[in-house]
Structure formats: C-alpha cells, structure tokens
C-alpha cells in the first residue's frame, strides 16, 4: 500500500501545491524551494508531527494550513492547522475517523508500524548517517522501534497507563484484614444495641422527672394551637372572598374575550381598507407631482391632472370609520387590565394556600407535641437514677464514636490496600508491554535479520561490499572482499547505499503493508565526482523499487540524477 497524491494549502512555502506520485518520483529544486517540506508534510499527515511548532507551518499571511494525503487503496487523510491547534480526519473503506490522536492511531494500527519506524523510513540522509555514528544504547531504541506489532504493544501500554491513573499510589500501608474489619463491625453492633436500650431508659426517666414542666409546656402548646386554628379559619374566609371575586372577574373576562373575537374580523377588514386608501392616495400624489413638475407633461397637465384625479377617485375607497378600531383597542386595553387583576388575585390565592398548608403543618406538629407530652408515663423503677443513666449513656456514646472512627479507618486501609494491590498488578502488566524494555539481545536479533535483507538489496544495487554485525553488538561492519571497515568509516556514497538498502530491508521486515520510502537529500555529503556515480545507483534503486511495488520519493537539488526517475516534480 502506497501514497498516490499529496495536496498542500498554505503549508510553509507552498500556498497551493498538488503532487501525484509515480512508481519513482524525484522532487528537485534549488535550496530553499520547499523540497524537504514535501516529506515533512507526508510525515505530518501520517503522525501529526512536524519539525517545529505547529503554528510555524502556516504560510505567512494565512490563518490556516491544510495537508491532504491519498493512498492507492482509497484511504484519505486530512489535517489542518490554525492558530488554536491542529485537527484531523480520515476516510477509509466507508469508515470516518475524527480527532488528531484517533487518526494517528488508525494509521499506525492500519500499517502495523510505530511512529519511530515512519521517522526512519522518511528521514533525511544525514539522519540515517547519524545512525552509524550514534551510541549503541540509542541504536537499541532505533532498531527495537521497528519490531512488527510495536504499535499494538504501545497501545496496550497506553491503555494500562490510563487504567493506572484510576488507582492512587498509597505507598506502604498499615497492615489490616477483612477479619479485623468484621470483628470491629460486630463489636460496634453490640455496643449500638446496648446504647439504644440505655437511651430508652434514660429518656423515660427524664420524661418522668420533668412531668410538671411538661404539663406547663402542654398548656402553652394548647394556647398556640388555638391561635393556629383561629388563624386558619381567617385564611379560609379570605381565600373564599378572593375566589368569589376571581370567579366574577373570569366571567367578565370570558364575555370580553367573546366580544373582542366578534369584532376582530370587522376591524381587520377596516384596517386593510385604510391601508389600501393610503396606498392609492400615495399613487395619486406621486402622479400629480410628476404631471406638475416633469417637462414632458407641460402641455397636457391642465388636462391630465383632472383626469388622473377623477380616474383614481374611482379606485380610492371611501374614508374608513375608525369607531370600530377604537372600540377594539379599548376592549383590548380592558382585557389586559382584567388579566392583570386576575394574575394578582391568583397570586394572592396561591399565597393564602401556602400559608394554609404551613398552618396545617404547624397545627399537626403542635398537636403531636401535646399528645407526646400528655402521654401516660410509666413509673420509673426505684433503683434507676437519672444522673447515673445519663453518665452511662454519654460514656457508651463515646465508646461507640471511638469504634466508628476505628472501623472507618480500617475500612479505608482495607480499600487502599486493595487499590494498591491492583495498582501493583497493573504496573507489572505495564512493564510487560513496555516496548522500550525490549532487551539488547532482542534488538541485536532484529538487526541480524535486517542484515540479511540489507545484503540482498546491496547485491541488487550492485554495490561492491556487504555488511555484517559483530557478535553481541549493534555495530555494522562493511566487508570489501577480505577487508573489513567499521560503519563509522564508510564514505558518503557508501552510506547512501547502505541507507537505501536498510530502508528497503525495514519495509520487508514490516510485512509489506507500508510500501514507500523517501530519500531526502541523498547527495548531501557527496562531491561532484561521486554525484555522477550516484546517478547509476539511483537507476538501480528505482529498478528494485519498481520490481517490489515500492514507491520511491527522492528529494534533491542535483539535476544530474533526474533521468533515472519516472516522475520529476520541479519546484522553485
């Protein structure tokens, strides 16, 4: 699967650019013409990243930039940048995906590739050359990122990371157990049962002790209840009066509404006649003015003026009697006044009803309190002491509060311990899916397999050397017959050949889903003599890519190599 077309709008130097890619495409132009921007735009379409701040990609004087990338299987990726951020959308096989992260994830899963692998396949030549110079630990990261299925592993790692955020890290906790929580709960239940019994005895004792005071309180409550009932009757009388007035008002309002409806049709006809009369009068005034002022009617105005007045006089309706309209306005004003009065009365009734509800509720409460006070009291046993009962009750309540606090603490510790166990378990799983924890041996194994494919492609490119790895190392060595040369000492042209072979080998490792590579400025480190030799290398590279169905995109400022390509795009 490969790209077929790229469209740029206001992206860096390109205000409006459309490129269709052939089997092999050379993008050529002078320095500063925006050649490398093409590769940057492709990478931005795939993973949503560029070489600088996103806003810097917008062409000067523009408010937003667009990148659209088409694939030969119908997949279309669209990304947009404005001053607030970036936006993305994707269409493929009838599916629509929106959102920057969602589109990037779809692409990585679809190609079964990592962002790092895309970075390698689209990297500039100097970046590939840096691979041969960088430390061994960094090479491990670069090679391990090429492992097939790494995007799935990373997605599992990200999912576990999100799940981990749901469980706080409590660190080392005090020991506890479910058995200890059950024992505390049982003890608390026993204390609560004893406390309830003790409260009942205390309350009964207190009720008998203050019986005289309760009788006085009952008398006062009875007086308040009588006042409550009197006020309730007054409210009922006031509500009845207002409801009577409201009923009369509604009757008047209904009759008035009926009267308004009867004359509204007649009033509407009169209003239309009045508007028509005004329109005809305006026409007559306009025509009379034209006859009197325009030179073309100078000789006929004495004849035309009376004729126009007489003619329009036939059409102008007679003056309208506005008595009906005035009556309708007066009726509507009266209707509005009555409606306002109705709303006021309805508000007063609602207020009285609310007041009545409160009075009834207060009356019930007063009656309940009276009944409770006047309820016959059992005699307090002779051996019961009120002060002693109160002291025992207070002591047992303190004990119960202490047990509640201790139980709550143990429950929290138990829950925190369970969360910590889940967190530790998720952390262990996360470590399993942490793709950067792939061992040095695994990365070396991948590089060893890559070397076989690199040598296959070096043979197809007719390069006079092969490469091999040192055992247990990430270092490549070039073999020229019986001579071995460390990769750091390869010439610029030799590194170009190894870089091309390595990118093609990576495509083979990825299983054929990602079918294009880019060579950005492969002539960057070559002098004129070696550039001439590079033309033949490009020809052989194009032939290999065409045979394997891999699209090749080359960025260069050297016109000497353009004869080797099917499609040449000139910039600048």
How far is the C-alpha of 533 from the C-alpha of 214, rounded, in Å? 116
Range with top average pLDDT, 281-285, 343-347, 443-447, 483-487:
343-347
Least confident stretch, 79-83, 243-247, 419-423, 568-572: 419-423
Contacts of 276 (CB under 8 A, 6+ apart): 317
Indicate the SS3 state at residue 434: coil
- Summary mean pLDDT of the chain: 78
Give the chain's count of helices (H) and strands (E): 14, 13
- Name the pairing type of β-strands 567-570 and 476-480: unpaired
How far is the C-alpha of 468 from the C-alpha of 486, rounded, in Å? 10
298 by Cβ neighbours in 10 Å (0-12 / 13-18 / 19+) ranks as exposed
Are 50 and 38 within 8 A, CB to CB? Answer: no
Q: How many CB atoms lie within 10 A of CB 324?
A: 16
First to last CA, the chain: 30
Q: Does the pLDDT at position 171 exceed 50?
A: yes
Q: What is the SS3 string spanning 490-558?
A: CCHHHHHHHHHHHHHHHHHHCCCCCCEEEEECCCCCCCHHHHHHHHHHHHHHHHHHHHHCCEEEEEECC
- Could you give the count of Cα atoms lying within 13 Å of 213 in the half-sphere of its Cβ? 5
Contacts of 463 (CB under 8 A, 6+ apart): 494, 497, 501, 537
Q: Does the pLDDT at position 102 exceed 90?
A: yes
Tens of pLDDT, residues 307-342: 776 666 666 666 666 677 777 788 788 888 888 888
How confident is residue 382, by pLDDT bands cut at 50, 70 and 90? very low
How far is the C-alpha of 282 from the C-alpha of 3, rounded, in Å? 72
Q: Does the pLDDT at position 165 exceed 90?
A: no
Q: Nearest Cα to 120, choosing from 139, 106, 96? A: 139
**Residue 308 parent element (H or E):** helix 301-315
Are 446 and 143 within 8 A, CB to CB? Answer: yes
How confident is residue 197, by pLDDT bands cut at 50, 70 and 90? confident
Contacts 24+ apart (CB under 8 A), 264-269: 264/328, 266/324, 267/324, 267/325, 267/328
- Select the more confidently predicted residue: 41 or 175: 41
pLDDT for the residue numbered 566: 84
Phi/psi of residue 293, each to 5°? -110, -25
pLDDT for the residue numbered 211: 63
Q: What integer is the mean pLDDT of 249-254?
A: 84
Q: How many CB atoms lie within 10 A of CB 174?
A: 9
Range with top average pLDDT, 361-370, 390-399, 417-426, 465-474:
390-399
Are 232 and 359 within 8 A, CB to CB? Answer: yes
How far is the C-alpha of 562 from the C-alpha of 28, rounded, in Å? 8
Q: What integer is the mean pLDDT of 110-138?
A: 69
Give just the sign of the alpha carbon dihedral 157, 162, 167, 173.
Answer: positive
How far is the C-alpha of 500 from the C-alpha of 498, rounded, in Å? 5
Q: Does the pLDDT at position 94 exceed 80?
A: yes
pLDDT for the residue numbered 512: 62
How far is the C-alpha of 527 from the C-alpha of 103, rounded, in Å? 42
Tens of pLDDT, residues 490-510: 777 777 787 888 888 877 777
Q: How many CB atoms lie within 10 A of CB 376?
A: 4
Q: Would the pTM count as exceeding 0.85?
A: no
Task: Provide, rounded to the nearest whole percent, the portion of the chain with pLDDT above 70.
Answer: 80
pLDDT for the residue numbered 63: 92
Tens of pLDDT, residues 35-79: 889 989 999 999 998 878 888 889 999 999 999 999 988 999 999
Q: How many CB atoms lie within 10 A of CB 38?
A: 25
Q: Does the pLDDT at position 157 exceed 70?
A: no
How far is the C-alpha of 411 from the C-alpha of 404, rounded, in Å? 10
Give just the sign of the alpha carbon dihedral 396, 401, 407, 409.
Answer: negative
pLDDT for the residue numbered 531: 65
pLDDT for the residue numbered 80: 94
pLDDT for the residue numbered 438: 52
pLDDT for the residue numbered 434: 58
Q: Does the pLDDT at position 243 exceed 70?
A: yes
pLDDT for the residue numbered 423: 79
Q: E strands, 304-434, where? A: none
24: alpha, beta or left, given left = phi > 0 and alpha = psi -120 to 50? beta
How confident is residue 166, by pLDDT bands cut at 50, 70 and 90? confident
Q: Nearest Cα to 436, choosing from 159, 141, 84? A: 141
Q: Does the pLDDT at position 380 exceed 50?
A: no
pLDDT for the residue numbered 114: 77
How far is the C-alpha of 4 from the C-alpha of 551, rounded, in Å? 9
pLDDT for the residue numbered 437: 55
pLDDT for the residue numbered 5: 93
Contacts 24+ apart (CB under 8 A), 464-473: 465/494, 467/498, 469/444, 472/444, 473/136, 473/444
Range with top average pLDDT, 172-176, 359-363, 435-439:
359-363
Q: What integer is the mean pLDDT of 166-176?
A: 75
Q: What integer is the mean pLDDT of 132-146?
A: 58
Contacts of 457 (CB under 8 A, 6+ apart): 500, 501, 504, 505, 544
């Amino acid at each position: 699967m490969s790209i077929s077309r790229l469209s740029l709008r206001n992206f860096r130097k390109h205000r409006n650019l459309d490129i269709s890619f052939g089997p092999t495409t050379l993008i050529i132009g002078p320095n500063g013409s925006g050649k490398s921007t093409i590769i940057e735009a492709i990478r931005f379409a795939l993973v949503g990243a560029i070489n600088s701040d996103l806003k810097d990609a917008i062409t000067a004087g523009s408010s937003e930039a667009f990148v659209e990338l088409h694939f030969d299987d119908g997949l279309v990726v669209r990304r947009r940048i404005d001053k607030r951020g970036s936006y993305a959308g994707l269409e493929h096989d009838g599916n629509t995906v929106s959102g920057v992260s969602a589109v990037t994830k779809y692409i990585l899963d679809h190609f079964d590739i990592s962002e790092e692998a895309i970075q390698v396949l689209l990297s500039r030549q100097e970046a590939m050359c840096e691979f041969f110079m960088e430390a061994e630990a960094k090479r491990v990261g670069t090679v391990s990122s090429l492992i097939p299925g790494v995007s799935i592993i990373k997605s599992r790692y990200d999912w576990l990371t999100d799940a981990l955020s749901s469980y706080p890290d409590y660190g080392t906790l005090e020991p506890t157990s479910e058995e200890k929580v059950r024992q505390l709960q049982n003890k608390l239940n026993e204390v609560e049962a004893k406390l309830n019994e003790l409260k009942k005895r205390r309350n009964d004792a207190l009720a008998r002790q203050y019986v005289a005071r309760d009788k006085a309180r009952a008398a006062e409550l009875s007086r308040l209840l009588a006042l409550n009932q009197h006020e309730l009757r007054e409210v009922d009388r006031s509500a009845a009066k207002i409801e009577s007035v409201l009923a009369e008002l509604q009757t008047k309002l209904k009759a008035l509404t009926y009267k308004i409806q009867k004359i509204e049709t007649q009033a509407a006809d009169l209003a239309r006649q009045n508007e028509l009369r005004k329109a005809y009068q305006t026409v007559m005034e306009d025509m009379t003015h034209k006859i009197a002022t325009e030179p073309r009617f100078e000789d006929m105005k004495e004849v035309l003026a009376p004729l126009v007045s007489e003619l329009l006089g036939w059409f102008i309706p007679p003056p309208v009697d506005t008595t009906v309209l005035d009556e309708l306005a007066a009726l509507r004003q009266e209707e509005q006044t009555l409606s306002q009065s109705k709303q006021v009365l309805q508000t007063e009734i609602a207020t009285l009803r609310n007041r009545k509800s409160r009075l009834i509720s207060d009356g019930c409460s007063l009656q309940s309190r009276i009944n409770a006070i006047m309820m016959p009291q059992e005699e307090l046993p002779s051996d019961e002491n009120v002060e002693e009962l109160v002291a025992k009750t207070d002591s047992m309540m303190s004990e119960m509060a202490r047990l509640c606090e201790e139980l709550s603490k143990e429950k929290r510790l138990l829950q925190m311990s369970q969360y910590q166990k889940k967190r530790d378990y998720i952390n262990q799983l996360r470590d399993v899916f942490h793709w950067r924890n792939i061992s040095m041996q695994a990365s070396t194994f991948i590089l060893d397999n890559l070397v076989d494919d690199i040598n296959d492609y070096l043979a197809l490119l007719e390069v006079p050397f092969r490469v091999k790895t040192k055992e247990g190392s990430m270092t490549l060595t070039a073999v020229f017959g019986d001579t071995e040369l460390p990769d750091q000492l390869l010439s610029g042209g030799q590194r170009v050949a190894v870089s091309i072979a390595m990118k093609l080998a990576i495509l083979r490792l990825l299983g054929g889903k990602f079918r294009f590579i880019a060579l950005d400025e492969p002539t960057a480190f070559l002098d004129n003599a070696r550039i001439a030799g590079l033309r033949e290398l490009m020809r052989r590279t194009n032939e290999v890519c065409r045979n394997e169905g891999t699209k090749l995109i080359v960025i260069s400022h050297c016109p000497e190599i353009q004869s080797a390509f099917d499609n040449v795009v000139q910039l600048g």
